[in-house]
Amino acid sequence: MGSRFDELFDNVDRLTRLEALSLDGILRPNSVKTILDCACGTGIQAIGLAQKGYKVSASDISRKMVRILKRKATNKGLKI
């Protein structure tokens, strides 16, 4: 399922932006700067938060999901 997970959503980039906006509204007022995304999947939250300037680490039980996240992050010029 890992290689097709993002296909479950109509627009994964829009979802990534919306989730990051929502989480940023909680995290930034509390001075959070570093994130650990456990069960990161393909990185929807991790990528969005990294794009907003957070230092993000991510893990998942599925190596395939982590590989997908790494590829997506690299393509976007992000270090996660």
What CATH number corresponds to the domain at position 47?
3.40.50.150
Domain assignment present for 39: yes
pLDDT tens for the chain, 80 residues: list them: 666 877 778 888 899 999 999 999 999 999 999 999 999 999 999 999 999 999 999 999 999 999 999 999 999 999 99
Output the pLDDT for position 37: 97
What gap in Å lies between CA 76 and CA 19, rounded to an integer?
A: 17
Please, are residues 1 and 26 in contact by the beta-carbon 8 Å criterion? no
Domain assignment present for 57: yes
Length of the chain, please? 80
Domain assignment present for 28: yes
pTM to 2 decimal places: 0.89
Please, are residues 8 and 71 in contact by the beta-carbon 8 Å criterion? no
**Angle of CA points 10, 16, 64, to nearest 5°:** 85
Give the domain range for residue 13.
2-75
